């Protein structure tokens, strides 16, 4: 039976926490009594520098309920960092950790399926939303175009998967090896490998409180996702430079023709051609410099180059 940890990042969640702890506790007790999770399983709530009573609620519950654990960050570090700190704390105690939001928008009844897949040998199980009907039109369309954009930039992320997932101990150890500061877990987790699977669920609306992801934070998150995983935008600059150089040659021919036909004002052809050509050349050069910057960027991230899942080395038997 695996030791399961629920890892829940919380930022100003006093309105939802008491109910969330109650519901998660029921789920955990059900898992333990049905023999799916070990008695050492826990719920771990990470207070991401909240300004309200979030931490007081967590510590009060932990006094009466041994299954409630807490981690308090010294200040607000954002959802991704809060989640990582929780996972890294859980890693020392658990066999697998399930990350979920404090507002329980993600259906907790599929947790059984998560654990079944883990027991079958999966290291990572992704929770995938089966539909986005409950989202506003704005959120739905921006989210979907974002997934498409990421795909076209060559970033491997799971479609319609937020941070509702199970990770086994090996996957968590692998995650610990990624030392990057601009964290975008949805991009890193698929890089880890191992056997993975998906669980489909319906996402509900927040039962209380407000979204802690205003548009500004969401945009930063989206840009982080692209710039932490793709150097494609730098290549776009080079390509644009090449294209403009090419266009300037066409422009040059056009200017020459106008010049000889006498329809151009004197000085126009040489001015316009040099502006275009130099513009293109400069952009191409920025692109080339950018390519090196891109390389430096991937070097400084110090991502692990590989991770061995199994090794077989057979020894000679004695006397050989």
Residue 26 Cβ vs Mg ion, minimum distance, rounded to whole Å: 20
DSSP 8-state secondary structure symbol assigned to residue 49: S
User: Within positions 107 to 166, which residues make up the interface with ligand UDP, using CB under 6 A?
Assistant: none
User: Within positions 73 to 102, which residues make up the interface with ligand UDP, using CB under 6 A?
Assistant: 76, 78-79, 82, 101-102
Q: Applying CB under 5 A, does 163 fall inside the site for Mg ion?
A: no
H helices of 51-208, where? 54-64, 79-91, 111-119, 137-152, 169-176, 185-192
> By C-alpha distance, which of 163, 167, 171 is closest to 221?
163
Q: Applying CB under 5 A, does 12 fall inside the site for Mg ion?
A: no
Q: Residue 11 touches which of ligand UDP, Mg ion, none (CB < 5 to 8 A by kind)?
A: ligand UDP
Q: Applying CB under 5 A, does 105 fall inside the site for Mg ion?
A: yes
119 φ, ψ (degrees, to nearest 5): -65, -30
Which member of 10, 21, 192, 199 binds ligand UDP (CB under 6 A)?
A: 10
By beta-carbon proximity to ligand UDP, the closer residue of 91 and 203 is 203
Query: What's the number of CA atoms in the CB half-sphere (13 Å) around residue 222?
Result: 17
Binding mask 75-104 for Mg ion (x = CB under 5 A): --------------------------x-x-
Residue 24 Cβ vs Mg ion, minimum distance, rounded to whole Å: 15
Q: What angle is formed at CA 151 by the lines to CA 9 and CA 156, rounded to 5 degrees?
A: 55
By beta-carbon proximity to ligand UDP, the closer residue of 20 and 238 is 20
The DSSP line for 213-261 is --HHHHHHHHHHHHHHH--HHHHHHHHHHHHHHHHHHHHHHHHHHHHHH
By beta-carbon proximity to ligand UDP, the closer residue of 95 and 101 is 101
DSSP 8-state secondary structure symbol assigned to residue 25: H
The DSSP line for 132-147 is -TTS-HHHHHHHHHHH
Which member of 152, 211, 270, 282 binds ligand UDP (CB under 6 A)?
A: 211
Q: Which residues bind Mg ion (CB under 5 A)?
A: 101, 103, 105
Q: Which residues bind ligand UDP (CB under 6 A)?
A: 9-11, 13, 48, 76, 78-79, 82, 101-103, 105, 211-213
């Amino acid at each position: 039976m695996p030791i399961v940890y629920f890892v829940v990042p919380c930022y100003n969640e006093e309105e939802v926490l008491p109910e969330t702890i109650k519901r998660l506790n029921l789920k955990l007790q059900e898992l333990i009594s049905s023999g799916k999770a070990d008695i050492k399983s826990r719920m771990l709530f990470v207070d991401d520098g909240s300004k309200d009573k979030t931490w007081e609620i967590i510590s009060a519950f932990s006094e009466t309920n041994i299954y409630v654990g807490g981690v308090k960050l010294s200040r607000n570090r954002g959802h991704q960092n809060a989640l990582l700190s929780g996972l890294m704390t859980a890693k020392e105690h658990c066999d697998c950790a399930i990350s979920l939001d404090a507002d329980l928008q993600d259906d907790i009844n599929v947790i059984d399926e998560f654990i079944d897949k883990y027991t079958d040998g999966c290291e990572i199980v992704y929770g995938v939303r089966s539909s986005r009907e409950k989202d506003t039109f704005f959120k739905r369309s921006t989210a979907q175009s974002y997934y498409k954009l990421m795909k076209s930039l060559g970033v491997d992320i799971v479609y319609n998967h937020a941070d509702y997932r199970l990770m086994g101990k090996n996957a968590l150890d692998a995650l610990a090896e990624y030392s990057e500061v601009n964290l975008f877990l949805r991009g890193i987790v698929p890089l880890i490998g191992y056997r993975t699977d998906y669980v489909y669920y319906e996402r509900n609306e927040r039962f209380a409180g407000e979204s802690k992801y205003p548009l500004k934070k969401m945009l930063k998150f989206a840009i982080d996702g692209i710039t932490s995983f793709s150097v494609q935008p730098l290549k776009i600059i080079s390509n644009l430079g090449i294209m403009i150089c090419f266009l300037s040659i066409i422009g040059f021919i056009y200017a020459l023709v106008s010049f000889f036909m006498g329809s151009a004002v004197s000085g126009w052809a040489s001015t316009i051609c040099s502006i275009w050509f130099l513009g293109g050349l400069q952009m191409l050069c920025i692109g080339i410099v950018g390519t090196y910057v891109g390389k430096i960027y991937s070097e400084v991230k110090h991502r692990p180059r590989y991770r061995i899942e199994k090794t077989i080395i057979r020894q000679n038997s004695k006397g050989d």
